[in-house]
């Protein structure tokens, strides 16, 4: 049975808001890139598209977080008396923190797909359309990667 976290409960609301804030701050970087480096001048596009992308990245971070929690629960049930691994290095300890890992995965996937699709579409379209296409392609690919992690890595079957 897959774990479904009630995100509006008092215990998990802070984690959900951290995910939303991290995705929003990440999109501020892409708004800056679009406005000043790519010279996208339409303010409606600069506000509406990143808001939708922020929600898509937030949802994919939640999916990946639930997948890692499911894996941790499964490992704990399989070997309850196993000695806990001690992590010595601070960077590895920080990267293995369950809230940081989904954000880093989503940021990496989104950035890679955004840059590739932006430069490819920039060859065929003007800056405004290239920005919109790149944001949408990168957001959809982040959702697909999150779904892939959920179904293949965590082996969660919803139905």
For the segment 28-73, what is each residue's pLDDT rounded down to a tens digit? Answer: 999 998 888 888 888 888 889 999 999 999 999 988 888 888 877 7
Mean pLDDT, residues 81-87 taken together:
63
Cβ atoms within 10 A of the Cβ of 114, count? 22
Quick check: 102 and 19 in contact, CB under 8 A?
Answer: yes
Quick check: 38 and 80 in contact, CB under 8 A?
Answer: no
Q: pLDDT > 70: what percent of the chain?
A: 85
Mean pLDDT, residues 140-156 taken together:
85
Q: Provide the whole-model pTM.
A: 0.83
DSSP 17-78: HHHHHHHHHHHHHHHHIIIIIS----HHHHHHHHHHHHHHHHHHHHHHHHHHHHHHHHHHHH
Half-sphere CA count of 14, side-chain side, radius 13 A: 2
């Amino acid at each position: 049975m897959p774990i479904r976290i009630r995100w509006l409960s008092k215990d998990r609301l802070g984690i959900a808001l951290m995910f939303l804030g991290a995705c929003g701050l990440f999109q501020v970087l892409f708004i800056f890139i679009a406005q000043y480096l790519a010279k996208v001048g339409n303010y409606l596009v600069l506000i509406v598209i990143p808001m939708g992308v922020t929600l898509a990245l937030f949802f994919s971070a939640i999916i990946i977080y639930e997948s890692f929690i499911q894996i941790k629960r499964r490992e704990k049930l399989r070997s309850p008396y196993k000695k806990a691994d001690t992590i010595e290095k601070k960077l590895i300890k920080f990267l293995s923190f369950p809230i940081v890992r989904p954000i880093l995965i989503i940021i990496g996937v989104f950035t890679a797909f955004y840059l590739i699709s932006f430069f490819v579409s920039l060859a065929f379209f003007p800056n405004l359309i290239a920005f919109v296409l790149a944001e949408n392609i990168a957001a959809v690919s982040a959702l697909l990667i999150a779904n892939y992690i959920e179904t293949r890595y965590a082996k969660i079957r919803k139905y």
